[in-house]
Amino acid sequence: MKNSRLVYSTDQGRIKETSKTAVTTKGDGIVRLKRETKGRKGAGVILVEGLDLPEKELKALAKQLKQHCGTGGAIKNGIIEIQGDQRDKIAAFLEKAGHTVKIAGG
């Protein structure tokens, strides 16, 4: 088996291979609300996943959601966590803001 991939040329120097996958999207545009209790000693939180927003806008949205629900929360790895079972309030708030919302999980 012969490899004919050109990696160096005396005219150009090292030749970098271009990626075949140009643009990958982070999600499918649907915001998913999941209820999670694992590792939280029975206290449930709602995870808001699928928001493709910059860090600053994500923090602002998390603050608005916490104020709307009257509870605490955090942002971890681009996922907003809101304390308590507030799925209905969060879904209504996000739909009013123009997001497509899906309640996922139990």
Conformational region of residue 47, where left means phi above 0, alpha means psi within -120 to 50, and beta covers everything else: beta
CATH code of the domain covering residue 36: 3.30.780.10
- Is 40 domain-assigned? yes
Name residue, tokens 């971890």. 76
pLDDT at 72: 92
- Is 4 domain-assigned? no
pLDDT at 25: 43
Quote the pTM value: 0.69
- Is 56 domain-assigned? yes
Is residue 27 within 8 Å of residue 47, measured between CB atoms? no
d(CA 58, CA 38): 24
- Is 2 domain-assigned? no
- Is 13 domain-assigned? no
* Number of domains forming the structure of the chain: 1
- Is 93 domain-assigned? yes
Closest CA to 83 of 68, 70, 91, 73: 73
Report the chain (106 residues): mean pLDDT per 10 consecutive residues: 60 60 56 86 87 90 93 91 91 91 82
- Is 98 domain-assigned? yes
pLDDT at 26: 56
- Is 5 domain-assigned? no
- Domain enclosing residue 38, as ranges: 26-104
